[in-house]
Amino acid sequence: MGWMAKRRLRTGPTAALPAKPSQSELLRIVRLADPDARADGDDVLAVDVRVHAPVEAEPELVGGELEKVWACRVTAEGPMPFDFFDRYLAEGIAFRLGGLAVCRGEVTDPAEPGEADRGGPAVILPVRPTDEELLPLLDGEVEQEEEFVYTVDGVRVLVVPEKGRPPAARELLPFATELTAIELRGDDPARLGALALRLADGLNGLVVDRWRFRVDAAEDVLPPA
């Protein structure tokens, strides 16, 4: 691999993986972020963002954290549906395949526990719920910190406008001009996932993870075993 190719991988965003994924596996994962993603030659296209076919790279790409590295570089070829969609794709792929993410020379582990406010699952809705609709679903003693911010049994619940239009929520767009997100924060991912699914069921929304990949089961927010 030439120095320019190595530089592009390090600049990223790049998903650095411990094993080479098949194109079908990569496509399955990317379709969680964009249901209309498709194969394009050996690559995968999501909206106007290309996930390049995996190439073998040196372990130095991730500072020796992986013995073997298969790198999938992600590049935007047109307007993105929301800011950092390309980086979110790389991190979401790395999370699901037990890898690391590389962006601008920085290596991160998407599965590493972070601060409670770093990000958790969210429920995407076509309309903002009223307190009468939301609070009974939280199932506990709810404290209101400020307008549209609540705490229930150590979980923070933030009701905010959704930035951009994540492709995973495309099915809601015909019914809304602006989407709403119920963001959940806490230190127990499985509990957050279960709460998100309950809220989505009660409010007719859908659940995405912090990278805006669709979530269908609570364990989807947990790193692979």
Residues 139, 217: Cα–Cα separation, whole Å = 19
Q: What is the pLDDT along the chain (225 residues), one digit of tens a residue?
A: 565 677 888 888 999 999 999 999 999 999 999 999 999 999 999 999 999 999 999 999 999 999 999 999 999 999 998 999 999 999 999 999 999 999 999 999 999 866 444 578 999 999 999 999 999 999 889 999 999 999 999 999 999 999 888 999 988 877 667 899 999 999 899 999 999 999 999 999 999 999 999 999 999 999 887
Q: Which pair of tokens denotes residue 85?
A: 């969609």
Q: Which pair of tokens denotes residue 163?
A: 């930035």
Q: Which pair of tokens denotes residue 129?
A: 């719920």
pTM of the model as a whole: 0.92
Name the phi and psi angles at 178, rounded to 5. -140, 125
With residue 16 as reference, give the H or E element that holds it. strand 14-17
